[in-house]
Amino acid sequence: MQITYKEFKPSFHLKPFVEDYWYQVFDGAPDEYSPLQVCLPLGMAQIIFHVNGQECSVFAGGEWHRLPDAFFVGVYRETVTWRAKGKCVCFGINLKPEILVQLFKVPASALFNYYTDVANFMNARISSFADQLMGVEDADTLVQLTEAYLENRIRQIRFEESCLHHATRLIRDSKGTITVDNICKTLYITERQLQRNFKDNIGASPKTYTRIIRFRNTYRDLKKNSCEKISWASLSFDHGFSDQSHMIRDFKEFSGVNPSLIVSADAPYYQLSCS
């Protein structure tokens, strides 16, 4: 089976809301399943579309479940294993998780470690947009339609930045090295207020979200190097781990394997936004 994957950056004025877009095509025989795709938890909410209606399924609870053709995905703290069948065209929008509730009235907290069909949130006003994408298999066209839709949604909404927006930005800007205490001091809020904001809107605690972002940035640095060129001690120090063992424990928790196995494996690992 031939697999093609591309990423697209959002336009400048959508960068506060969108991490990126991704496009993946599995080109196989009608009854052929793809190699297993293992996605790491990278701290983003997503909207994913199987634009040609072909089967994709996720492994959960010891069995395979067919995924909807259009669905919301919350922030995950564990890997997700999935596969495609035949020729399947997938398109995804990677969103900053705090934006999900404002753009679509869908709190990411309801989707923590979970996904759901867009049809389950009728007030999200996304069903007609999903219908518009179905049958479109050209990547550039999918991105253009998505940007036009998001720009229109944003014009209809009055955005007001909350302490959650500032907190998540601090975490991402620090690459996950900032402490919860320093976030609270910077924003002049109590830890209890911060915890409640994260629980209500993202689902993960601020500490868990910070650890996921640190893992994401460490992973990105790993993918830029071969195992022979990596100084594991320097990598752990640069990303704020107390030592190399601490970094390895976090990698095992979020990926299930040692970091050396991830960086040396071309398959089955398929990671979003690894560039």
- Domain positions in the chain are 2-156, 163-263
For residue 215, report the phi and psi dihedrals to the nearest 5 degrees. -60, -45
Task: Classify 5 as helix, strand or coil.
Answer: strand
The per-residue pLDDT of the chain, averaged, comes to 89
Task: Classify 131 as helix, strand or coil.
Answer: helix
What angle do the packed helices 163-173 and 191-201 form, to 10 degrees? 90
The predicted structure's pLDDT at residue 275: 38
183-212 average pLDDT score: 95
CA–CA separation, 90 and 54 (whole Å): 9
Give 124's pLDDT tier (boundaries 50, 70, 90). low
The predicted structure's pLDDT at residue 82: 94
**Which tokens sit at 247?**
């970094």
> Do residues 14 and 8 make contact, with C-beta atoms less than 8 angstroms apart?
no
The predicted structure's pLDDT at residue 224: 76
**Which tokens sit at 61?**
């609870």
- CATH number (3.10.20.30, 2.60.120.10, 3.30.450.20, 1.20.1250.10) of 2-156 reads 2.60.120.10
| CATH superfamily ID and name for 163-263 | Homeodomain-like (1.10.10.60)
Element (H, E) at 47: strand 45-50
Strand partners, 72: 47, 116
> Do residues 75 and 45 make contact, with C-beta atoms less than 8 angstroms apart?
yes
Give 123's pLDDT tier (boundaries 50, 70, 90). low
25-47 average pLDDT score: 93
The predicted structure's pLDDT at residue 76: 94
Strand partners, 82: 37, 58
- The phi-psi region of residue 271 (left if phi > 0; otherwise alpha if psi is between -120 and 50; otherwise beta) is beta
What angle do the packed helices 244-255 and 206-223 form, to 10 degrees? 100
pLDDT tens for each residue of 47-106: 999 999 999 999 999 999 999 999 999 999 999 999 999 999 999 999 999 998 888 888
Q: What is the pTM of this model?
A: 0.91
103-132 average pLDDT score: 86
The predicted structure's pLDDT at residue 267: 47
Residue 257 has pLDDT above 90, yes or no: no
Environment class of 185 (CB within 10 Å of its CB; exposed 0-12, middle 13-18, buried 19+): exposed
229-255 average pLDDT score: 89
> Do residues 88 and 1 make contact, with C-beta atoms less than 8 angstroms apart?
no
> Do residues 178 and 200 make contact, with C-beta atoms less than 8 angstroms apart?
no
216-244 average pLDDT score: 83
CA–CA separation, 218 and 210 (whole Å): 12
208-226 average pLDDT score: 88
Residue 272 has pLDDT above 50, yes or no: no
Residue 88 CA neighbour count, 13 Å, CB half: 27
Computed from CA positions of residues 105, 110, 115, 119, in that sequence, does the dihedral angle turn out positive or negative? negative
Pinpoint the alpha helices (H) of the chain: 100-104, 127-133, 139-156, 163-173, 180-187, 191-201, 206-223, 232-238, 244-255, 259-264
Fill in the DSSP letter of residue 75: -
CB neighbourhood size of 88 (10 A): 22
CA–CA separation, 73 and 153 (whole Å): 19
Residue 270 has pLDDT above 80, yes or no: no
249-262 average pLDDT score: 87
